[in-house]
């Protein structure tokens, strides 16, 4: 980083490959890692530079170029470089020529279907240290392109089919993100009704609330004892342990939330593909109401109270988008979501919403819908009409389904739960509620 800042100050403009060349040509004592790990460091740094530049040109004036030195980085190995499986069947990671290797047991790593992914299919490998859990973990990625849904933006060059003979049909899934319900998905069913799936985030909020309480209590106790004392050490360890535990549970919660959303998007695709005439390919478009930036600067503006500010800053929105895009194999588009929670989907009349139900105050309309679904339906309308809210009219029908992401269950617990749900007659899709 010092080198790049030096170049900038001298009026030069190094590019991505210049940074890579500089890092990989450092003397071995300055670079105690494998050449491909060094390359990954350089490219990650450059990604951060480009993100900051994009954010700036998007109008985020507070976006800064990377400036803080890092005390920690995961050890990254690119596909096929710097690591191998030894003849004894161990996993060996290189730290560069002339250095001792890190030798680990070979991980038995399975895909989503439960089948073993052999080492030949592994992509990037990361060795990470979790300071909270005080443990090492190995993160291995692998490619499964056959899993991706046909995307509207990538495969068809962003062209929307307008002619009647087109063999491509675009189906939009709109997503409304929120704190109470992390993801609300909406699409138009083949029969014309809007179908809304609300993924509930109660368990995620419970994990965060529990962690915030424990951490606050321990911090208060820490502030009353002497730095470096035995009690101080014990309390710090307890705080880290609580944070590590909450982190693991939140990771599980996020994965379950996005797995539910992925399943729903795939079901929408299958439904429309089954209805489409022969020879027509259904492609998917996922559009999210743009709330980027809401969680920032809440302190200066003081528009919301302290606990809401905390909720906003701990919102997993970006993680959910990233995971859903990855799982469904689709690119996610953003759309300006102004007024989508206030406008009536049927007549377009606006009002402030209080309580759990949205009731239109336009007397000739009187449309009613559960509040959770309004944003999703409106974002869908925006996406399908190039960013304008076209009222759907009095014939609008909306079906709402609730899904719950429940973290912290073992596979057996989950199976048993599924069994009970099926016996009770509301498996998988959740309860149907009509507006
Ligand atoms: Zn209305």
**Domain C-terminal end among 143, 161, 193:** 143
Cα-based angle 303, 212, 208 (whole degrees, multiple of 5): 85
Tell whether 189 and 46 lie within a shared domain.
Answer: no
Tell whether 108 and 9 lie within a shared domain.
Answer: no
**Are the CB atoms for 350 and 343 separated by under 8 Å?**
yes
**Are the CB atoms for 284 and 269 separated by under 8 Å?**
yes
Average pLDDT over residues 32-49: 91
Q: What count of other Cβ atoms lies within 10 Å of the Cβ of residue 251?
A: 13
Look-up: residue for tokens 């599980």? 252
Tokens of 377: 């339906």
**Are the CB atoms for 403 and 430 separated by under 8 Å?**
yes
Tell me the C-alpha distance between 155 and 158, whole Å.
Answer: 8
Residue 373 C-alpha to ligand 1 middle, in angstroms?
14
DSSP 8-class letter at 149: P
Tell whether 254 and 307 lie within a shared domain.
Answer: yes
Tell whether 172 and 138 lie within a shared domain.
Answer: no
343 inside domain: yes
pLDDT band at 147 (very low <50, low <70, confident <90, very high): confident
Residue 342 C-alpha to ligand 1 middle, in angstroms?
10
**Are the CB atoms for 130 and 244 separated by under 8 Å?**
yes
Which residues are CB-neighbours of 170 under 8 A, at least 6 positions away?
152, 160, 161, 282, 283, 284, 285
Residue 191 C-alpha to ligand 1 middle, in angstroms?
22
Please tell me which residue, 337 or 429, carries the higher pLDDT value. Answer: 337
Which chain residues have CB less than 5 Å from ligand 1, an ion?
344, 346-347, 349, 360, 362, 365, 367
Compute φ and ψ for 68, nearest 5 degrees. -90, 130
Residue 156 C-alpha to ligand 1 middle, in angstroms?
36
Average pLDDT over residues 108-125: 81
User: Which segment of 73-87, 319-333, 362-376, 418-432 scores lowest on mean pLDDT?
Assistant: 418-432
- Residue 326 belongs to domain spanning: 148-203+244-433
- Give alpha helix (H) positions in 58-176: 152-155
Residue 368 C-alpha to ligand 1 middle, in angstroms?
8
Average pLDDT over residues 338-355: 88
Tell whether 106 and 157 lie within a shared domain.
Answer: no
Residue 432 C-alpha to ligand 1 middle, in angstroms?
23
Average pLDDT over residues 24-39: 90
Q: Which residues pair with 185 in a beta bridge?
A: 175, 197
Q: How many domains does the chain have?
A: 3
Residue 401 C-alpha to ligand 1 middle, in angstroms?
22
What confidence score (pLDDT) does residue 157 get? Answer: 42
199 inside domain: yes
Average pLDDT over residues 230-241: 91
What confidence score (pLDDT) does residue 435 get? Answer: 39
**Domain C-terminal end among 143, 164, 181:** 143
Which residues are CB-neighbours of 266 under 8 A, at least 6 positions away?
149, 328
Average pLDDT over residues 165-179: 84
Is the pLDDT reported for residue 430 higher than 50?
Answer: no
87 inside domain: yes
Average pLDDT over residues 41-53: 91
The tens digit of pLDDT for each residue in 8-31 reads 999 999 999 999 999 999 998 888
Residue 327 C-alpha to ligand 1 middle, in angstroms?
36
Tokens of 152: 């509207």
Tell whether 296 and 250 lie within a shared domain.
Answer: yes
- Give alpha helix (H) positions in 276-402: 298-301, 306-313, 317-328, 371-384
Is the pLDDT reported for residue 428 higher than 50?
Answer: no
pLDDT band at 426 (very low <50, low <70, confident <90, very high): low
214 inside domain: no
**Domain C-terminal end among 97, 122, 143:** 143
Distances (CA, A) of 402 to 136, 194, 311: 37, 14, 22
Residue 431 C-alpha to ligand 1 middle, in angstroms?
26
Average pLDDT over residues 36-63: 88
Please tell me which residue, 411 or 16, carries the higher pLDDT value. Answer: 16
**Are the CB atoms for 96 and 28 separated by under 8 Å?**
yes
Is the pLDDT reported for residue 309 higher than 60?
Answer: yes
**Region class of 8: left (phi > 0), else alpha (psi between -120 and 50), else beta:** alpha
Residue 394 C-alpha to ligand 1 middle, in angstroms?
8
Tokens of 379: 């974002």
Tell whether 319 and 180 lie within a shared domain.
Answer: yes
Tell whether 336 and 356 lie within a shared domain.
Answer: yes
368 inside domain: yes
Is the pLDDT reported for residue 357 higher than 50?
Answer: yes
Residue 338 C-alpha to ligand 1 middle, in angstroms?
17
318 inside domain: yes
What confidence score (pLDDT) does residue 434 get? Answer: 41
How much is the mean pLDDT over the chain? 83
37 inside domain: yes
What confidence score (pLDDT) does residue 10 get? Answer: 95
Compute φ and ψ for 60, nearest 5 degrees. -85, 95
Cα-based angle 185, 321, 341 (whole degrees, multiple of 5): 45
Residue 345 C-alpha to ligand 1 middle, in angstroms?
7
User: Which segment of 34-38, 171-175, 309-313, 338-342 scores lowest on mean pLDDT?
Assistant: 309-313
Work out whether strand 194-200 and strand 75-77 pair parallel, antiparallel, or are unpaired: unpaired
Residue 363 C-alpha to ligand 1 middle, in angstroms?
8
Residue 358 C-alpha to ligand 1 middle, in angstroms?
10
Tell me the C-alpha distance between 370 and 433, whole Å.
Answer: 9
Looking at the chain, the whole-number percentage of residues with pLDDT higher than 90 is 34
Residue 350 C-alpha to ligand 1 middle, in angstroms?
8
**Are the CB atoms for 248 and 167 separated by under 8 Å?**
no
What confidence score (pLDDT) does residue 376 get? Answer: 93
Residue 170 C-alpha to ligand 1 middle, in angstroms?
28
Tell me the C-alpha distance between 319 and 323, whole Å.
Answer: 6
Helix (H) or strand (E) segment spanning residue 55: helix 35-57
168 inside domain: yes
pLDDT band at 196 (very low <50, low <70, confident <90, very high): very high
**Are the CB atoms for 367 and 357 separated by under 8 Å?**
no
Residue 193 C-alpha to ligand 1 middle, in angstroms?
17
Tell whether 37 and 167 lie within a shared domain.
Answer: no
Helix (H) or strand (E) segment spanning residue 185: strand 183-188
Is the pLDDT reported for residue 404 higher than 70?
Answer: yes
Tell whether 317 and 186 lie within a shared domain.
Answer: yes
Tell whether 138 and 153 lie within a shared domain.
Answer: no
What confidence score (pLDDT) does residue 416 get? Answer: 67
Residue 176 C-alpha to ligand 1 middle, in angstroms?
20
Which residues are CB-neighbours of 14 under 8 A, at least 6 positions away?
4, 7, 22
Please tell me which residue, 261 or 419, carries the higher pLDDT value. Answer: 261
DSSP 8-class letter at 283: E
Average pLDDT over residues 168-180: 89
Residue 290 C-alpha to ligand 1 middle, in angstroms?
24
Tell whether 158 and 108 lie within a shared domain.
Answer: no
Residue 359 C-alpha to ligand 1 middle, in angstroms?
8
User: Which segment of 16-20, 362-366, 405-409 scores lowest on mean pLDDT?
Assistant: 405-409
The dihedral through the CA atoms of 344, 349, 352, 355 has a sign that is negative
Residue 367 C-alpha to ligand 1 middle, in angstroms?
5
DSSP 8-class letter at 169: E
Per DSSP, the three-state class of 183 is strand
What confidence score (pLDDT) does residue 146 get? Answer: 63
């Amino acid at each position: 980083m010092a080198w790049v800042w030096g170049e900038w100050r001298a009026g030069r403009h190094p590019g991505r490959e210049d940074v890579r060349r500089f890092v990989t040509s450092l003397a071995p004592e300055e670079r105690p890692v494998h050449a491909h790990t060094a390359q990954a460091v350089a490219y990650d740094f450059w990604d951060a530079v480009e993100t900051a530049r994009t954010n700036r040109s998007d109008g985020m004036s507070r976006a800064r170029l990377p400036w803080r030195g890092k005390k920690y980085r995961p050890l990254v190995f690119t596909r096929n470089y710097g690591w191998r499986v030894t003849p004894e069947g161990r996993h060996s990671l290189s730290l560069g020529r002339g250095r001792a290797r890190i030798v680990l047991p070979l991980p038995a790593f399975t895909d989503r279907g439960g089948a073993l992914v052999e080492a030949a299919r592994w992509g990037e490998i990361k060795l990470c240290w979790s300071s909270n859990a005080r443990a090492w973990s190995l993160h291995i990625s692998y490619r499964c392109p056959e899993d991706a849904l046909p995307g509207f933006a990538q495969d068809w060059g962003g062209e929307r089919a307008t002619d009647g003979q087109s063999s491509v049909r675009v189906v939009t899934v709109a997503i409304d993100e929120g704190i109470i319900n992390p993801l609300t998905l909406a699409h138009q069913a083949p029969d014309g009704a809007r179908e809304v799936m609300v993924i509930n985030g109660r368990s995620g909020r419970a994990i965060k609330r529990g962690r915030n309480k424990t951490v606050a209590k321990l911090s208060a106790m820490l502030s009353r004892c002497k730095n470096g004392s035995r009690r101080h050490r014990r309390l710090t360890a307890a705080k880290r342990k609580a944070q590590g535990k909450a982190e693991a549970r939140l990771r599980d919660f996020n994965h379950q939330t996005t797995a539910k959303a992925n399943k729903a998007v795939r079901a929408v695709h299958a439904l429309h593909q089954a209805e489409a005439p022969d020879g027509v390919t259904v492609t998917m478009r996922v559009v999210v109401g743009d709330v980027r930036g809401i969680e920032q600067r809440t302190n200066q503006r003081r528009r919301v109270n302290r606990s809401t500010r905390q909720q906003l800053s701990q919102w997993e929105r970006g993680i959910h988008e990233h995971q859903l895009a990855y799982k469904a194999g689709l690119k996610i588009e953003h759309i300006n979501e102004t007024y989508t929670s206030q406008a009536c989907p049927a007549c377009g009349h606006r009002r402030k919403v209080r309580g759990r139900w949205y009731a239109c105050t336009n007397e000739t309309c009187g449309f009613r819908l559960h509040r959770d679904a309004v944003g999703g339906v409106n974002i869908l309308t925006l996406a399908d009409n190039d960013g304008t809210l076209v009222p759907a009219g009095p014939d609008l029908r909306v079906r709402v389904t609730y899904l719950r992401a429940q973290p912290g269950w073992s596979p057996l617990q989950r199976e048993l739960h599924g069994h009970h749900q099926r016996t009770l007659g509301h498996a998988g899709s959740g309860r149907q509620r009509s507006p």
